[in-house]
Amino acid sequence: MTQTTDPAATARGQQLRALMLQYGGILMALVALCVIFTLMNGRFMTVANLTNILQQVAVVAIAAFGMTWVILLGEIDLSIGSIIAVAGMAGAQALAMGVGFVPALLFTLAAGAVMGGINGVLTAKLMLPSFIVTVATMGIYRGVVSLPTNGAPAMISDPSWIAIGSGSFLGLPIIIWIVLVLFLFNHILLSRTTFGRRTYLTGGNREAALYSGIKVDRLKIAIFTLSGVMAAIAGILLSSRLYSAQTNAGMSYELDAIAAAVLGGTSLAGGVGTMIGTLIGALIIGVMNNGMNMLSVPYFYQLIVKGLVILIAVWLDVRAKKRRA
């Protein structure tokens, strides 16, 4: 604001400018959406509603964090919707067997890791395209989820499990805390560690990464496992919010997760993308869904508007990036 050349302020200013350059297009889209909805419905911009949006977007956002890793590697994971369902069911079954909250939680996470790991091993070791591997496991996991209850939902009554989705901590819903913590975890892992760096390099050029001494196969398996675990966490949240594990839970969430990541600037060719972008992308989707419900837009028009907003947001982003280059 002032004209002094305080170096710290300058650095902050530069950081802000870099942020604006990188996310300008997509942030603009998010802000525009918020402004429009606020103008059209006074109740949109309330703490209660914003909390609502964050809670509703939590499941997709967490799945999208995992998806971002996979896409950064130049791969895709279409099975996460099914993993979300299996995770919920695994938790419900474990709880029903009376193993207790923490073991059930660990069991669920392990189930997610195993399912993601299978995707990774099939992709990396058998060298099958991840698209087809995860289309196949999408079906397989969706079949598996129905086996314990023959398709029926499983009730969950464990109070700790339920608290995840409806409890609060320091005035903020636990579910929002979880999103924040997972965002930070993934963001730091991606931007600050060798693991993240290897992901960027491998996604940018697999062959060059191999020659540079990166264990591409292991990395791939690790990342699909990570994506599976993220999906499992999303599944836990979802089952907790619904008080039950549904066999059709998470259906087609993979597309929302991919849309969030791509809206946020992640390139499907691999090698380009950030967690911040994905979070913004997920928020756009959440704001859009919430805002249109608030305005009582009929379902079919919602589909149309949602598609148009995605197009406009990506286009704004591509344009902003082109202008910068």
Partner 1 sequence: MTDAPDIVLSMSDVKKHFGPVVALRNMRLQIRPGRVHTILGENGAGKSTLMKILVGVYQPTDGRMELAGQPYSPQSPTEAAQRGLAIVFQELSLCNNLSVAENIMATHEPARFGFINDRKLRQMAAELVADLGLPVNVDAKVGDLSIAQRQLVEIAKGLSHPAKVLILDEPTSSLSDSEADILFSIIERLKARGTAIIYISHRMEEIMRLSDDITVIRDGEYVATRDRNDTTIEELIALMVGRRMDEIYPPALAPGQTRGTTPALEVRKLTRADEFADISFQVMPGEILGFFGLVGSGRSEVMNAIFGMRAATGEIWLGGKPVQFRSPVEAIRAGIGFVTENRKEEGLVLGAALQPNISSASIPAFAGRSGFLNFGAERQAAAAEVQRLAIRTNSLQTLAGTLSGGNQQKVVLAKWLLTRPGVLILDEPTRGVDVGAKFEIYRIIRQLASEGTAIIMVSSELPEVLGLADRVAIMAEGRIKATLSGDELTPEHVMAYATGTSK
Partner 2 sequence: DGIGASLLTQQHPFYIELADAMKAEAEVKGVPLEISIANQDLNKQLADVEDFIVKGVDVIVISPVDSQGALAAIAKAEAAGIKVITVDIPIANGQVTSHIGTDNYTGGVKAAELMGKVLEGKGKVAIIDYPTVQSVVARIDGFKKGLEEFPGIEIVAQQTGITRAEALAVSQNMLQANPDITGIFGFGDDAALAAAVAVKSAGLQDQVKVIGFDGMEEARNAVDSDPVMVGVIQQFPQEMGKTAVDTAAQVIAGEEVPAEQPIVPGIYTGM
Which residues sit at the interface with partner 1, rule CB under 8 A?
A: 192-195, 197-198, 200-201, 203-205, 207-215, 271-272, 325
C-alpha 285: how far from chain center: 11
Q: Are 156 and 162 in contact (CB under 8 A)?
A: yes
Q: Does 319 bind partner 2 (CB under 8 A)?
A: no
Q: In this chain, which stretch among 15-23, 100-108, 123-131, 249-257 interacts with partner 2, using CB under 8 A?
A: 249-257
Q: Are 101 and 213 in contact (CB under 8 A)?
A: no
Q: How would you class 203 by CB atoms within 10 Å of its CB: exposed for 0-12, middle for 13-18, buried for 19 or more?
A: buried
Whichever of 117 and 291 has its CB closer to partner 2, that residue is 291
Residue 72 identity (one-letter amino acid): L
Q: Does 135 bind partner 2 (CB under 8 A)?
A: no
Q: Are 55 and 175 in contact (CB under 8 A)?
A: yes
Residue 303 identity (one-letter amino acid): L
Run of H or E residues at 66: helix 47-72
Whichever of 54 and 190 has its CB closer to partner 2, that residue is 54
For a second copy, what does the binding mask look like between residues 108 and 127, x meaning CB under 8 A? --------------x---xx
C-alpha 141: how far from chain center: 19
Q: In this chain, which stretch among 16-24, 140-148, 181-189, 198-206 interacts with a second copy, using CB under 8 A?
A: 140-148
Find tokens 């608290």 and name the residue: 163
User: Which residues contact partner 2 (rule: CB under 8 A)?
Assistant: 41, 43, 46, 48-49, 52, 55-56, 59, 146, 150-153, 155, 165-166, 238, 241-244, 246-251, 289-290, 293-296, 298-300, 302
User: Which residues contact a second copy (rule: CB under 8 A)?
Assistant: 78, 122, 126-129, 131-133, 135-140, 142-144, 146-147, 150-151, 252, 255, 258-259, 262-263, 267-268, 299-304, 306-308, 310-311, 314-315, 318, 322
